[in-house]
Amino acid sequence: MNIVDMILRKKEGKALTPQEIRAFARGAADGSIPDYQLSALLMAICFQGMTAEETACLTMEMMQSGDVADLSAIDGVCVDKHSTGGVGDTTTLVLVPLAAACGAKVAKLSGRGLGHTGGTLDKLESIPGCSIEKTQAEFVRQVQEIGCAVIGQSGEICPADKALYALRDVTGTVGSIPLIASSIVSKKLASGAGAIVLDVKTGSGALMQTVEESIELAKAMVDIGALAGKPILALVTGMDQPLGTHVGNALEVKEAIDILAGRAGGDLLAVSLELGSRMLVACGIAADVEAGKAKMRAALESGAGLAKLAEMIAAQGGDPRVCEDTAYLPHAAYKISVPAPCSGYVAAMDTTQIGYCAQDLGAGRKQKTDVIDPAVGLVMDVRLGDRVQAGDSLATLYLNKPELAAPTIARMQAAVTITAEQPELPPLLYAAVSHEEIIRYA
């Protein structure tokens, strides 16, 4: 197949054939198509889109570009969860240990930061000694023995997606429904989980910024799952402000630990319970969503969830003492407040820009070769609807390079809208999407 012809055809809005899509996926996997041509085709797809048939074909070809995990040795139904990405979205580190403490088997492949969004693997690697590398046999053994594992996709699982994922992050081609859907679902199918729950974000900090776009993405993914014989449920949840208050790798680990220890809560915990309860339903541990939430809350209150996180960290070579004392996590050298420029109500946040502020400080990558500073980021000191006085702290920056403070403060102040009128707060849960139906909550 001639890759230039494929680029030109897609640039004109024409559908690629299954043979062309197979060549695209295999060329990405084995490196036979250079990055600059892969990037050009990604951009053409981003502009022109793909049909449902093209998207399903790309998903299956990326899945088949490497190994497909065999989790049959694990007792019960393995369940997995994935988020389309957001800011301060630390649900994995909260709900995975909680679900495992309730008896679920959670076999999770996670990704790194993409664009303005954080990555679970980067967060885990901020824990001293913690490894996200496991062989297939080690992955299965850990899930069977302790109930959960969160690792990176190996070179053998979805190598086509691994190559394209890294390019999308640095070529402005993240926000494409076919590329997002095929990337997520190919990994989920290859990971071997028996049931999958997806968290599709919507709002100013999401890849899809309108509810209808987010529902469209959710439907695309659950329909691909149905085609592959894999049950997928998607929730559409809000991202009009950072989900948690902490943004940055070690900072987000700290917030997850604080939640599991009972010291924090809020929207991050609420979404974790919504997703986790449906994971328990999917694997047969809870009869319905409310029963699942009750089990999750019991694991939270008993400390079983925090104990399970410590167990998972230890199994992956990390220092479990971080769960007892977060001082063992990396710490930034400087803390600087972002003052409110005027008095009023916090009416809106450009959550994407807040994510980029954390990236500017070193918490994310601008190029795929960038090295992340695990200690830096920011903590939001306000939520939507809060009343502030001029000079009050909107957020606290955690940084190791003090020269980055002034431009980041200016960017943060521009990202937070303050008005005289108290705003109406956006919902947290918008819809539940399955192959059979769409249930709208807001």
pLDDT band, residue 116 (cuts 50/70/90): low
Contact 395, 379 (CB under 8 A): yes
Q: What is d(CA 275, CA 237) in angstroms, rounded to the nearest whole number? A: 10
Per-residue pLDDT at 118 exceeds 70: no
The answer to whether 168 is a known catalytic residue is: yes
Catalytic residue among 161, 169, 223, 373: 161
* Predicted confidence band of residue 219 (pLDDT cuts 50, 70, 90): very high
Confidence bin at 110 (pLDDT 50/70/90):
confident
More confident residue, 157 or 342: 342
Helices (H), 12-51: 18-30, 35-48
Q: What is the CATH number of domain 3-49?
A: 1.20.970.10
Of 168, 188, 201, 219, the catalytic one is: 168
Q: Give the global pTM.
A: 0.88
Catalytic site residue from 22, 26, 82, 201: 82
Residues 302-325 pLDDT 10s: 999 999 999 999 999 999 999 999
- DSSP per position, 174-235: ---HHHHHHHHHHHHHHTT-SEEEEEEEESTTSSS-SHHHHHHHHHHHHHHHHHTT--EEEE
Higher pLDDT, 366 or 295: 295
Residue 195, phi then psi, degrees to nearest 5: -145, 150
The encoded tokens of residue 188 equal 């989920």
Tens of pLDDT, residues 395-411: 999 999 999 999 999 99
Average pLDDT over residues 420-424: 96
Contact in structure between 418 and 340 (CB atoms under 8 Å): yes
User: Would you place residue 227 in the very low, low, confident or very high pLDDT band (cuts 50, 70, 90)?
Assistant: confident
For residue range 247-271, list pLDDT tens digits in order.
999 999 999 999 999 999 999 999 9
183 is catalytic: yes
What mean pLDDT, rounded, does the chain reach? 93
With a CB cutoff of 8 Å and minimum separation 6, the contacts of 341 are 390, 413, 418
Best CATH choice for the domain 332-419 from the list 3.30.70.1350, 3.90.1170.30, 3.10.20.740, 3.40.50.1370: 3.90.1170.30
| Positive/negative CA dihedral, 33, 37, 43, 49 | negative
Question: For domain 78-325+429-440, which architecture applies?
Answer: 3-Layer(aba) Sandwich (3.40)
Tokens for 36, please give them.
């600059």
The candidate with the shortest Cα–Cα distance to 167, out of 51, 58, 37, 52, is: 37
Arithmetic mean of pLDDT, 342-360: 96
Domain residue ranges in the chain: 3-49, 78-325+429-440, 332-419
Please report which confidence band the pLDDT of residue 115 belongs to, taking 50, 70 and 90 as the band edges: low
Give the integer Cα–Cα distance in Å for 173 and 179.
8
Catalytic-labelled residue, pool 39, 110, 126, 183: 183
**404 DSSP 8-state letter:** G
What integer pLDDT is reported at residue 114 of this predicted model?
61
Which tens digit of pLDDT belongs to each residue from 67-100?
A: 888 888 898 889 999 888 889 999 999 999 999 9
Contact 271, 432 (CB under 8 A): no
pLDDT digits (tens, 9 = 90+) for 160-211: 998 998 899 789 998 899 999 999 899 889 888 888 999 999 999 888 889 9
Residue 117 has pLDDT above 70, yes or no: no
Find residue 307's DSSP bridge partners: none
Spatial distance between the Cα atoms of 367 and 231, rounded to a whole number of angstroms: 35
10 is catalytic: no
pLDDT (0 to 100) of residue 234: 97
Q: Which of 116, 134, 187, 246 is catalytic?
A: 187
Residue 160, helix vs strand vs coil = helix
| The pLDDT of residue 146 is above 90 | yes
Structure tokens at 143: 């899930």
